[in-house]
Structure 1
Amino acid sequence: MLELENLKKSFDNKLVLNNINLKIRNREIVSVFGPPGSGKSTLLNLIQGLITGDCGRILLDGKDIMSVAQEERQVNIVFRDFDFVWDWSVYKNITYPLKERPVSTMSEVNSLIQFMGLDSLLTQKLIQISGEDRLKVALVKTMTMRPKALLLDEPFRFLTRSGSDSVRQCIRDILRYYNICALVTGSRYEDVCSFSDRVFCLKEGILTPFQELNDRSHTARRHLFVKRHSKNPRPPIDSEKKSVRINM
């Protein structure tokens, strides 16, 4: 569970985040939308530890992590422009971080690769694959670090509708399997509504629940998304699957 209590952040005496309070349960997806410059990325960077807050607390499974180093927080972010070495192969981008922090076994990594359907792309460079597959690579790379909370900064903005739906379902399956939570940002309500358990609006530093979440229209859209993907459920992640063989 991820909890934010009375978080504040200012830049040059301008209040960007004003008394942010939020609780996200495991397996829950909470989304925050707002216009550019509203503080969405600042909120994610603060949670991950890339910047420091002015005051408040960040609790992960009941532990205050505000003073914990970024690499030890067990909170990982998928950046909006990703964090790739673009002329490296898909496989090298995924596995390179494990050289410094081997928190996942290669069997676990290979299972994630298979689960995301990336088996046939492992020797390709990142510049050669689609936006949907790039996001899947970023998700696999992030999950190899075994986070307890997943942050995604406007992950769907460059994807097609079908690509977005496919990745959304992958994310939800991952949260269920690993029993973790996710905080997702988007510029528009339409980007996150059917995908989220709860939606908030961030404007002028203030986070407020979005009223439409309780409307029948939102409920209908979310049920349609779940129904659409429940017809062909994805197989569970199996860490004992045969390893993917790579010819580098």
Structure 2
Amino acid sequence: MLELEHIQKAFDGVPVLKDLSLQVEDGEIVSILGPSGCGKTTLLNIILGIVDADQGEIRYSGEDLTRTPMEKRGFNIVFQDYALFPNLNVQQNITYGLRNKPGISSREEVDELIDLLGLREHLGKRIDQLSGGQKQRVALARTLVMKPRILLLDEPLSALDGVIKESIKDRIKTIAREYHLTTIIVTHDPEEALTLSDRVLIIDQGSISQYARPDEIVHQPRNDFVRKFILRQLEIKRGNIYALFGDRPQLAGEAV
């Protein structure tokens, strides 16, 4: 279990995260959702260890990680731009981290990941020969061979659309289930969060507006911010969402 208690962070005296506490269960997929500037990327960076919290505690399986440096936390991230090495082919990118830690994943485990992510036919290709979805799968494989305790994803679907986007969503869910891998995703897209996650954390101006299962958020939004942010942004995608969660709830002030 990942536990955050009373996390606070400010930049140049401006509060970004305000007394934020939550728990993420082992093997759970959690999306951090909110508008630009709400603090979701700062929270991801604090969990990863890139940024230190001003106040509060971070624990994983009871171990205090608040002041533990990033390289010793055992958490790995896939960045929005993939951060692949253009001078290496797909196979070399996937196994790059194993150069320094060759015992983490066996050859069989690497092959299993390559097949799970559908990358076998692309192993000899250069990165500039890949589509956006293929690059995302390579970035996932490169991270997963290092066997992270927690997988962090920064806007993993933002550059994708259509069938490719749905395929990557399915692969992320499959990986989380098969490897029982706690996965935390930052996104600005309510549809992504609601269809990908076990629970969704909605942040507004550095505070938690709601932290709940997707069906609870759709049918029992805690406040007007959640109602407006979720429901109004989903109007253009209502077919996908309401097929899963049922009829659209009413916004405050709307006629029934």
1:5 deviates by 1.1
Q: 1:152: which partner in 2?
A: 153
Question: Residue 86 of structure 1 contacts residue 127 of structure 1 at CA under 8 Å; is this kept in 2?
Answer: yes
Q: Which residue of 1 aligns with 2:175?
A: 174
Measured against aligned partners, the alpha-carbon deviations of 1:86-106 in whole angstroms (never above 9, x if no partner) come to: 232111111111112232222
Counterpart of 1:22 in structure 2: which amino acid? L
What's the secondary structure of 1:146's corresponding residue? coil
Equivalence for 1:108: 109
State yes or no: 1:80 paired with 2:80. yes
Distance change (3 Å), C-alpha of 1:146 and 1:219: farther
Alpha-carbon displacement from aligned partner over 1:208-234 (angstroms, at most 9, x marks no partner): 2168741358584279xxxxxxxxxxx
Distance 1:180 1:67 in 2: 23
Structure 2: gaps (5+ residues):
220-237, 247-256
* SS state at 1:68 partner: coil
**Which residue in 2 is equivalent to 1:96?**
96
Q: Say if 2:211 is the partner of 1:188.
A: no
Q: Distance in 2 between matches of 1:72 and 1:210?
A: 28
Tell me the secondary structure at the aligned position of residue 67 of structure 2.
coil
2:244 matches 1:221 = yes
The aligned residue for residue 200 of structure 2 is 199
Give the match for residue 62 of structure 1: 62
Partner of 2:7: 7
TM-score after normalising by structure 1: 0.83
Deviations for 1:89-133, whole angstroms, at most 9, x for unmatched residues? 111111111112232222211110111110010111112111111
CA contact (8 A) 2:84 2:93 kept: yes
Asked which structure has the greater CA Rg, the reply is 2
**Whole-Å separation in 1 of the counterparts to 2:38 and 2:135:** 26
Q: Percent identity?
A: 36
Cα contact 1:198–1:213 (8 A) shared by 2: no
Q: What secondary structure, in the 3-state scheme, does the structure 2 residue paired with 1:192 have?
A: helix
Offset at residue 69 of structure 1 (A): 2.1
Q: 1:210 to 1:48 in 2, by over 3 A?
A: closer
Q: Which digits, 9 at most, give the CA deviation of each residue in 1:46-99, with x for residues without a partner?
A: 111111111111111221112222112111111111121123211111111111
- What amino acid maps onto 1:109 in structure 2? V
State the secondary structure of the residue aligned to 2:160.
coil
Cross-structure match for 1:228: none
Residues 152 and 183 of structure 1 are in contact (CA less than 8 Å); yes or no, is this contact kept in structure 2? yes
1:231-246 matches, within 5 Å, as none
Paired with 1:220 and 1:196, the residues of 2 have a C-alpha distance of: 16
In structure 2, what is the Cα distance between the partners aligned to 1:213 and 1:5?
25
Aligned-pair CA distance for 1:176:
1.7
Shift in CA distance, 220/3, structure 1 to aligned 2, threshold 3 Å: farther
Partner of 1:18: 18
Q: Distance in 2 between matches of 1:21 and 1:220?
A: 32
Contact kept? 2:215, 2:245, Cα under 8 Å = no
Cα distance between partner residues in 2 of 1:94 and 1:29: 23
Asked whether the 8 Å contact 1:193–1:199 carries over to 2, the reply is yes
The one-letter code matched in structure 1 to 2:77 is: I
What are structure 1's unaligned runs of at least 5 residues?
A: 224-248
Shift, 1:168, TM fit? 1.4
